[in-house]
A and B are shown apart, each in its own frame.
Chain A
Amino acid sequence: MSYPPQPPYGSPHDQPTQPGFVVPPPPPNHGPQQGYPQQGGYPSQGGHPQQGGYPQQGGYPSQGGYQTPPPGQPQQYAQPPAPQPQQAYAQEQFGGPIAPLPTAQGGTGPVVHDVHSLPVNDNVNPYAFSVELNGSYFLQKGKMVAYYGDITFKGVGAGMIDRMLGQHFNSPMHAADWVVAEGRGKLLLADRAFDLNSYDLEDGNLTVRSGNLLAFDPTLRLKQSIIPGFLTLIGTGRFVAASNGPVHFVEPPLRVDPQALVGWADCPAPCHHYDHDYMHGLIGGIRRLTGIGGASGEEHQFEFIGAGQVLLQSSEKLMAERSVGQVGAEAGVPMGGVPSQPGSAGHGGGNPNLPGLGNLGELGRRFGL
């Protein structure tokens, strides 16, 4: 959960500017009820009924410490008192607005953690997440960077893991990409210095780009989304996802650059949107095919309507897509029988500027045509 109390990027995370996602004031003290300060607390922007179970972005709310585990969850995570010096440390290191003139006392050096000072199910810094493991946890292969304690990593599909798989992992096609961490200890996750965030789901659902999901509680169920390249998490629990830049929550109606989309919660109708003016007619066709004549690079978006939350990352740089496996060929199944490949969904390519032809279009962009 908590990011360091202040976002590390200099500016305070000024919430009034984000109509879509309002972070409640930091809980003054941590009662057992404080774990979900946001329940029902989303602003009634669109007037749609608020249900509990919107994902809340881990981290920002819990200024005073760590959140308690979700109520529905067995008291799996022991909750040792948050080490206070640690907080102060983090604040010193990341917090505070950037001074106009850097002063000599700027750096405090690296924070030295030990097994007790590592946060419990919380961000160590924006790029690393510490899981207090007592039982099992699903994580994507290769995302563990360090651990304390007695933890074993087993490939999904081995022995008694299969039983758990049957209960929580309803995406067997995807299973080979996952490992189960079992045991007790502290587990540190990181992914190429991308920003990590944890999200709490309470009887909710959230769909996330397959490459962005890092790890999740076994209390959640993972399923393959109907939309190719995406995975859906259902239930109650916490998961960790990566993004290129901090994640921003927005409420629909909204149109999103395909590359900036991380995921969404509860939105019933994600669909494509094309700016028709650029696409039709002869000139439009030439434009689309060549990029000449001016493609603004924004002719194609994903559109979200209805009640829910859309998760945006702050950059169009995608994380490498993970194959979510092949869906059995079956009538009525999108991409059935076609292995989902990076880029095959029409938006995976590295060039966000162009709807059409790669190189020629790049040339056109180069010359500003």
Chain B
Amino acid sequence: MGFTKINGKMVEAQVVPGQRLFSQRGAMLAYSGDVRFTPNITGGQGGVMSMIGRRVANEDTPLMTVEGQGRVMFGHGGHHVHVIDLFGDTLYVEADRLLAFEGTLRQSTMFMGSQGGVMGMVRGQVTGQGLFTTKLEGNGSVAVMAHGGVFELPIVPGQSVHVDPQAYVAHRGDVRNKLSTAIGWRDMIGRGSGEAFQLELSGQGTVYVQASEEKL
């Protein structure tokens, strides 16, 4: 089970009866076997309330449910794909970066302000994540998309990692993040370094960073 990377931009998933996958709509490239793609009106798991939550949070990337038996290949927009296996821990990722994830994962929406209060909200604005982000927890695999290749930076206690907000993709584990600013008078007169905002992540976990500052 899980996703197998075929190349940097394509993953393959085995679909077995009784186990669902969710994937972004239109992200199927090819399949063999008897596989059905059902548009997921609620945009993911949970009931109607979850759907409303996602709508409000603008985390309602159209998803489809993939069921049946066979193997399916996913890829989208020529973006690089990175497979993340979760073993009971939590992944925070922007919904539009989700290419596909296993139905065994619990999907929910998280308010950015719950991690760091007002600065969390500011952070969300700066990273382009908005005020909400998607949380996946449980056991299973996730395929996330990024512009450019993805690399993982481990976060260990006492050693925080700074990431350009635009290059931030996702993070997992017990991580606190805050926005650190380095705005000086140079930025005010338009002579800044262009790196005025950084995302500072500390705690225990991993942050996924893309090799590009372009949004999806």
Contact = CB atoms under 8 A, between A and B. Distances in A.
Interface of A: 7-11, 13-14, 17-18, 98-102, 244-246, 248, 250, 252-257, 260, 275, 293-299, 301, 310, 312-317, 352-353, 365, 368-369
A275 B8 CA distance: 29
A365 B25 contact: yes
Lowest 5 CB-CB distances: which A-B pairs, in order?
Answer: A9-B8, A294-B39, A297-B26, A314-B9, A315-B78
A104 to B, nearest CB: 15
A9 B9 contact: yes
Contacts of A13: 7
Interface of B: 4-10, 12, 25-32, 36-41, 43, 51, 55, 60, 62, 64, 73, 75-80, 149-154
Nearest to B6: A248
A245 B55 contact: no
Contact of B75 (A294, A298, A315, A353): A315
A153 to B, nearest CB: 30
A255 B73 CA distance: 10
A10 B62 contact: no
A245 B10 contact: yes
B5 A314 contact: no
Nearest to B12: A17
A252 B29 CA distance: 14
Which of A8, A246, A275, A296 has the most chain B CB atoms closer than 10 A to its own CB? A296
A98 B149 contact: yes
Contacts of A368: 41, 43, 51, 55, 60, 62
A310 B30 contact: yes
Contact of A316 (B40, B76, B80, B153): B76
Contacts of A14: 4-5
Nearest to B80: A9
Contact of A100 (B10, B26, B36, B153): B153
B31 A254 contact: yes
Contact of A248 (B10, B38, B43, B154): B10
Contacts of B151: 10, 98-100, 102
A102 B29 CA distance: 32
Nearest to A260: B29
B75 A254 contact: no
Contact of A295 (B30, B39, B55): B39
A141 B62 CA distance: 40
Given A98-B149, A298-B64, A316-B26, A255 B31 contact: yes
B75 A17 contact: no
B149 A10 contact: yes
Given A17-B6, A275-B37, A250 B25 contact: no
A100 B154 contact: yes
Contacts of B60: 368
A294 B38 CA distance: 8
A11 B31 CA distance: 22
A298 B7 contact: no
B29 A314 contact: yes
Nearest to A126: B8
A11 B9 CA distance: 10
Nearest to A246: B7
B198 to A, nearest CB: 16
B30 A315 contact: no
B206 to A, nearest CB: 9
B4 A17 contact: yes
Given A10-B8, A14-B5, A254-B32, A316 B75 contact: yes
B29 A246 contact: no
Nearest to B81: A314
A296 B64 contact: yes
Interface centre among B12, B27, B39, B149 (most CB of A within 10 A): B39
Contacts of B43: 368
B9 A296 contact: no
Contact of A315 (B4, B9, B12): B9
